Amino acid sequence: MDQDSTQQMVAACIAGNQDAMRMLYERCSQRVYAQMVRMVGVQDADDATQQVFIHLFRKLDKFDGRSKLETWVYRLASNEALQFIRSRSRHSTDSLLDDPTGNSDDMREQTEQAEMLDVALSKIDPELRVVLVLKEQEDLSYREIADAVGIPEGTVGSRLNRARADLREALLQLGWE
Digit-coded pLDDT (tens) for 112-130: 777 788 888 888 999 999 9
pLDDT at residue number 100: 45
DSSP annotation of 60 reads: G
pTM over 0.75: no
Per-residue confidence (pLDDT) for residue 104, from 0 to 100: 63
- Ranking 35-44, 102-111, 129-138 by mean pLDDT, the lowest is 102-111
121 burial level (CB within 10 Å; 0-12, 13-18, 19+) = buried
Helices in the chain by DSSP H: which ranges?
3-14, 18-40, 42-59, 69-87, 105-123, 126-136, 142-149, 153-173
pLDDT at 21: 94
Q: What is the pLDDT of residues 19-74, one digit of tens each?
A: 999 999 999 999 999 999 988 888 889 999 999 999 999 999 998 888 888 889 98
What is the per-residue pLDDT for 33? 94
**What is the architecture, at CATH level 2, of domain 3-173?**
Orthogonal Bundle (1.10)
CB 118 within 8 A of CB 90: no
For 129-158, b/e burial (b = at least 16 CB within 10 A) is: bbbbbbbeebebebebbbbbbebeeeebee
**Phi-psi region for residue 139, left (φ > 0), alpha (ψ -120 to 50) or beta?**
left
Q: For the CA atoms of the chain, what is the radius of gyration?
A: 17
User: What's residue 120's pLDDT?
Assistant: 86
What's the rounded mean pLDDT across residues 143-150? 89
How would residue 13 be classed by pLDDT, with cut points 50, 70 and 90?
Answer: very high
Residue 50's alpha-carbon distances to 78, 89, 138, 141, in angstroms, are: 13, 20, 19, 26
CA 142, 148, 154, 158 dihedral sign is: negative
Over residues 98-105, the mean pLDDT reads 52
pLDDT of amino acid 90: 41
